Structure 1
Amino acid sequence: MVSQALRAIALLRPSAGRFLAGLVFSAGASLCSFPVIAFQIAPLGSEFESKLTNEPEASLARTAGRLGILIKGPVHEEITQLGMGCPVEPPSGLVSNAECGVRDRPFASAYVIYGVRWNDLPPFRLSSEEGNCTYLGKSCNVSQTIRFSTQPLCWYCLFKDAETKARSRRIVGCSKEKGVLRGNVMTRSHFGDLQFLHAMASEEGVHPGATRAKVLDWLEFAWKVSSREIKADTLLRDLRIAAIQEHFGCTEWRVVDLYVLGQQDKLGRYLHQVAFGSVLHTVQDSFAGAHASREGQAPGGLCPGTTRDRPPRVVEFHTYGAQDGSLHDEHDSRDAMTRVNAADRWPEAVEATRNLAQYYEDNATWSDVQPYMQCLFELADDRRDSSPGEAYRRR
C-alpha cells in the first residue's frame, strides 16, 4: 500500500520551476495508512519571509514530500510581480517566460508577497471549541500559533478533517446556529464562512449578489488597512463593515492579530503592505475559473468613475466543498492564467493587479478605489446562484 501510494507523489519546487515526479521513500517509512492524495498547498515563501518568521522552508518541503502533497507553483506571486513592474512583453512572451515567478523577484516587497500568501495560509490558534487533531502520532500544540511550516502535520490534519466534515456541516466562526462546526481562519477560509477571501461563496445556492457584497466588504476592510484608514490596533468587532461584523464580531482580535498572529512585533509595522497583498489575492482569485465564472468577453467601455477598462462580468461564484480538488487546482495553474484571447493583452488578473498597484502607489483611499472594485465584481445579466461548477464538481 505504501509503495502504491507513493507513486502518486510529485513535489513542485518553485526555485526549480518544474515538477519533480516519482519521488520515492523506503518501505519502512511510517506511512502505513497513507492515502493517495491530490491536494496542493501554497508555494514556498520568500527567503526573507522565512527569516522574518523563523520558519525554515526545509520543514515545509520535507513534510510535503512525506505526505505526498503537491506544492503549488507561485502563480499569485508571479501575477503580483508582473502587476508591480516585473518586465515581460505581454502576453505572448509571458507564456514562455516565467522569470517573474522566480522566488524573490524585487518588484513586489516581501511584505506584499506575505500578504498575497496570507489568504491561503493565515496563521491561527486553536480554541477549546475548535478541537485538536492528531496525524502520524503528532498532535497540535494549541499553545502556539499554527502555520504549515511550524506544525505541518497538525495543519494538514486540520485541513483534511475540515474537508470531510464540510460535506455535511457548515464551518463557521461566530454563528451560534445549532449543528454548525466552529473553525479556525484557515479551515473557514477554505471550506467555511470565509470563502469570500477567495472570491467564492460559502455554500451552494447562494445568490451572487450576497457573495459579491461580502467580497466587497472584505476588500473595503483590507484596502482601508492598506491605506491606513483602519489602524493596526483596531478591534475587528468595532468595525462598521457588515461582513467583518458578521464573521469576526464575536472575537477579541485586533486587525494586526488577524494578519500577522505570532509575529505582531516583527511584521506589525508593515501591516499596510500585508493587507494590500491580501487584497490582490482576492481579486486575482476571482479570475480563476474554479473560483468564479465570468462572461467570455468584457462588456466594453470603462468602469464608471474610472479610466480603467471593464473586465468580463461575474456569472457565478463557485463554492469549494463539492469540488474535485485536482480539477480546482488545474484551473488555478499558471497555464490557466496565461490563456488569453488576444496576443496584445495581459491576463485579466494581471491587468487588475497593475491597476490596483497604481492606486496603491498613488495612496488612494477606499473612496478612491471603490468604483473600480465594484466594477471588478460587476454581475452579469445572466447570473446564477453558487454551485461547485459542473466543470469542477466531485464525481
Structure 2
Amino acid sequence: MNKYKKVAAIAWGVWLGCVGQAGAFQLSPSGTEAEREMAKKYGVSYKASVPLMSFALHSFGDSAHEALTQKIYGCDGDWQYCNNPNLEDAGAYVIAGVRWNDDPVFMPSAEDAKTKGCDGRYSVGFISQTRCWVNLFEEAEDKSAVDPMAFMGTGNYIARSHFGDLQFLHAMASQEGDPAEKTKREIMMWAEFAWGVADGTYPINTYLKDIRIDGWDQHFNNGQTVQDLFAVGRPWLRTNVDKVALGSLLHLVEDSFAGGHVQRREEILGDKCMDGTQAVLARIEEFHSYARQNHTKHKDADASAVARLMLMKHEPDVVDAGKKLRGFAVDGKKWADVRPYLDECVFALAKQTSPASAGDQYK
C-alpha cells in the first residue's frame, strides 16, 4: 500500500470508529488561500485539498463554521455563497481562529517525529501535516477508549481537545455526568482568556502559567506563551493573534448551538438579560458528552444543512450573538462589559439542568 492510500485508509478508519470524540460544526477541509500564501513565505506547504480525508474526519467535512462566521462579519449572500472560507468578510486571521478549536497547533515531540510521520520542523495541522495529524488522532482515540481519563490535563492538544479535559472548546462536557455548572465555568474561563488576548490584556508574550483566571491552572500550567498556544510554528499569525483568539471564541459560541453539543430549550418570549436590555438566547438544559454518543448522529447534527435550519429555529440566533461580540470587539470593550452578555444571555442555564450525557437523540 502506498503512502497516500495508507493515510487515506487510516483516516477512513478513524471516521468509522470514532469513540469519545468531541466534534464541532464542520470545517472546510482546505483552509484559506490567504493562509496558504502566507505559509509559503515561511516554507510551510498547505495542501489545497485533502481527497477522501476531507470527508473521513467529520470536523473537516464542510465549511459550516466558516459560513456562520462570514455571516457574523456581514456576508449577506445565501448559505452557498457565505460558506466560502476565502471571503474577506471575516478575514484569514479570524477564520484561522475559528479553525483552531478543532485543529489546535502544537509542535510534535521527537517521538512523534520518529513514529507518527511528523515533521519536527513544523507545527502540526490537519492540512499541513495530515498524516501526522491522523496518526496522533488515531492513537488518542484508541487510548481514550480504554482509559477515558488518559487525556485529562495531559497529552497533545489534538488528544485533549477532542478526547480530554479541553472539550469545553466545543461547548461539551469533558466527562459523562459533569454538572452543567462545571462545563459552563470552563466555557466562561476560556471566554475570559480569549477575550483578554483579543483586547490586549494578555499580550502575545504572556506566559500561560501567569494568567489568573479561576480554574485556568488546572488546564494550562506549562511554560507556554499565548504565542505558543495560538501560533507556534506559524509566524504569519502572530501580529494578528488578537483576531485568532476572537475566532476561537466565536467557534465556541457557534458550537453551543449545535444539537449534538448542547440541549437548549426554545426561547421564551420576554426572557431578558442584562437588566432587561437583551434577549436570552435559548437557555441551556444540558451540555452533552460524546463518550456514549452515536458518532454518525453527532456528525449529521454538525453539518451545514443543520446549521442553516438552526438559524431559522432560533430568534435571536448564533449569528446575532456573534455580531454582538464582534461589536464589543470593535468598540474596545473589556471583559467586565462582555462577561454579562455571555453569562446571562448566551450561556444562560435553565432553571433545571441535567448532568452531561449523550442526549436522547444522540445515543
Could you tell me which residue of structure 1 aligns to residue 274 of structure 2? Answer: 304
Could you tell me which residue of structure 1 aligns to residue 257 of structure 2? Answer: 287
1:45 to 1:30, Cα distance in 2 relative to 1, 3 A: closer
1:304 to 1:124, Cα distance in 2 relative to 1, 3 A: same
Structure 1 distance, partners of 2:213, 2:195, is 12
Could you tell me which residue of structure 2 aligns to residue 153 of structure 1? Answer: 131
What is the CA distance between 1:143 and its match in structure 2?
5.1
Task: Give the 3-state SS of the residue equivalent to 1:58 in structure 2.
Answer: coil
User: What amino acid is aligned across from residue 108 of structure 1 in structure 2?
Assistant: A
What is the CA distance between 1:172 and its match in structure 2?
3.1
1:53 to 1:308, Cα distance in 2 relative to 1, 3 A: farther
Structure 2 distance, partners of 1:352, 1:258, is 26
Task: Give the 3-state SS of the residue equivalent to 2:328 in structure 1.
Answer: helix
1:333 to 1:32, Cα distance in 2 relative to 1, 3 A: closer
Task: Give the 3-state SS of the residue equivalent to 2:186 in structure 1.
Answer: helix
1:223 lines up with 2:209 in the alignment: no
What is the CA distance between 1:232 and its match in structure 2?
0.9
Could you tell me which residue of structure 2 aligns to residue 99 of structure 1? Answer: 81
Structure 1 distance, partners of 2:38, 2:360, is 42
1:111 lines up with 2:111 in the alignment: no
> Unmatched 5+ residue regions in structure 2?
none
User: What amino acid is aligned across from residue 259 of structure 1 in structure 2?
Assistant: F
Task: Tell me, yes or no, if the aligned pair for 1:172 and 1:193 is still in contact at 8 Å.
Answer: yes
Q: How many correspondences in the alignment? A: 346
Structure 2 distance, partners of 1:42, 1:102, is 11
What is the CA distance between 1:141 and its match in structure 2?
3.3
1:42 lines up with 2:34 in the alignment: no
1:143 to 1:56, Cα distance in 2 relative to 1, 3 A: closer
Q: 2:66 aligns with which of 71, 77, 80?
A: 77
User: What amino acid is aligned across from residue 258 of structure 2 in structure 1?
Assistant: A
Q: 1:255 aligns with which of 203, 226, 230?
A: 226
What is the CA distance between 1:140 and its match in structure 2?
2.6
1:306 to 1:120, Cα distance in 2 relative to 1, 3 A: farther
Q: What is the correspondence of 1:1-395 to structure 2 with a 5 Å cutoff? A: 37-38=15-16, 42-43=27-28, 44-54=30-40, 55-58=44-47, 60-62=49-51, 64=53, 68-69=56-57, 71-88=60-77, 94=78, 97-127=79-109, 132=112, 139-142=117-120, 144-169=122-147, 170-172=149-151, 174=153, 182-249=154-221, 251-263=222-234, 265-298=235-268, 300-305=270-275, 307-340=277-310, 348-375=317-344, 376-393=346-363
Structure 2 distance, partners of 1:336, 1:387, is 21
Task: Tell me, yes or no, if the aligned pair for 2:93 and 2:240 is still in contact at 8 Å.
Answer: yes
1:312 to 1:32, Cα distance in 2 relative to 1, 3 A: closer
Q: What's the CA shift string for 1:293-350, capped at 9, x where partnerless?
A: 111234633322473311111111112233232221211111111225868x667221
Structure 2 distance, partners of 1:225, 1:32, is 37
TM-score by length of 2: 0.86
Task: Give the 3-state SS of the residue equivalent to 2:340 in structure 1.
Answer: helix
Structure 2 distance, partners of 1:87, 1:373, is 25
Structure 2 distance, partners of 1:151, 1:300, is 49
Structure 1 distance, partners of 2:181, 2:56, is 38
What is the CA distance between 1:134 and its match in structure 2?
8.2
What is the CA distance between 1:389 and its match in structure 2?
1.7
Q: Select between 142-151 and 375-384 the one with higher mean Cα deviation.
A: 142-151
User: What amino acid is aligned across from residue 229 of structure 1 in structure 2?
Assistant: T
What is the CA distance between 1:123 and its match in structure 2?
0.9
How much is the aligned-residue C-alpha RMSD, in angstroms? 2.8
Structure 2 distance, partners of 1:33, 1:117, is 24
> Unmatched 5+ residue regions in structure 1?
3-25, 89-93, 175-181
Structure 1 distance, partners of 2:62, 2:7, is 26
Structure 1 distance, partners of 2:311, 2:248, is 27
Q: What's the CA shift string for 1:6-47, capped at 9, x where partnerless?
A: xxxxxxxxxxxxxxxxxxxx9x95589766544797312110
Structure with larger RCO (C-alpha < 8 A, sep 6+): 2
1:124 to 1:86, Cα distance in 2 relative to 1, 3 A: same
Structure 2 distance, partners of 1:114, 1:357, is 16
Structure 2 distance, partners of 1:323, 1:164, is 16
Could you tell me which residue of structure 2 aligns to residue 16 of structure 1? Answer: none
Structure 2 distance, partners of 1:58, 1:274, is 21
1:127 to 1:382, Cα distance in 2 relative to 1, 3 A: same
Q: What's the CA shift string for 1:140-186, capped at 9, x where partnerless?
A: 33454211222211111111221232123213364xxxxxxx31112
Task: Give the 3-state SS of the residue equivalent to 2:360 in structure 1.
Answer: coil
